[in-house]
Amino acid sequence: MSSKIYPSPAAALENLLFDGMTIMSGGFGLVGNPESLIPEIRAAGVRDLTVISNNAGADGFGLWMLLQTRQISRMIASYIGDNKLFEAQYLNGELKLELTPQGTLAERIRAGGAGIPAFYTRTVVGTVVSEGKPTEMFDC
């Protein structure tokens, strides 16, 4: 069995990063972000990343560093905040966004980890977001 302790952040990411990959970043706001790994991802120069995270960092911190270098092409997040770089890239069509309520995002992550391919939520029922999407009625 190989050790999961690495001498450096760069060593931990060695041979793992590639263009077009999906990365899930921990943290709630800036608390708990992988502060030592984000600069290594940036230095690796990988592109077209989809990043799943509570948010996209703040000016100069967290995932903002990968937005600045245009390495993120798609964000799946529950909070955007006042990240001006994120806003500009989204409004200019440079960044795709899947905005998901926090509870739904947490359940998607849990379900994915458990191998559950889909689950239902009432989050958008009756709104324009639900138009054209499958719905199901359960015994309520």
What is the reported pTM? Answer: 0.85
Strand partners, 28: 31
134 found inside a domain: no
Determine the pLDDT at residue 89.
96
Spatial distance between the Cα atoms of 50 and 91, rounded to a whole number of angstroms:
17
Segment 82-103 mean pLDDT: 92
Spatial distance between the Cα atoms of 92 and 84, rounded to a whole number of angstroms:
12
Tally of structural domains, the chain = 1
Determine the pLDDT at residue 31.
85
73 found inside a domain: yes
DSSP per position, 55-76: ---BTTBTTHHHHHTT-EEEEE
Length of the chain: 140
Can you give the residue range of the structural domain that contains 26?
9-99
Q: What is the pLDDT of residues 60-84, one digit of tens each?
A: 999 999 999 999 999 999 988 888 9
Domain of 65, CATH number, reads 3.40.1080.10
Determine the pLDDT at residue 130.
83
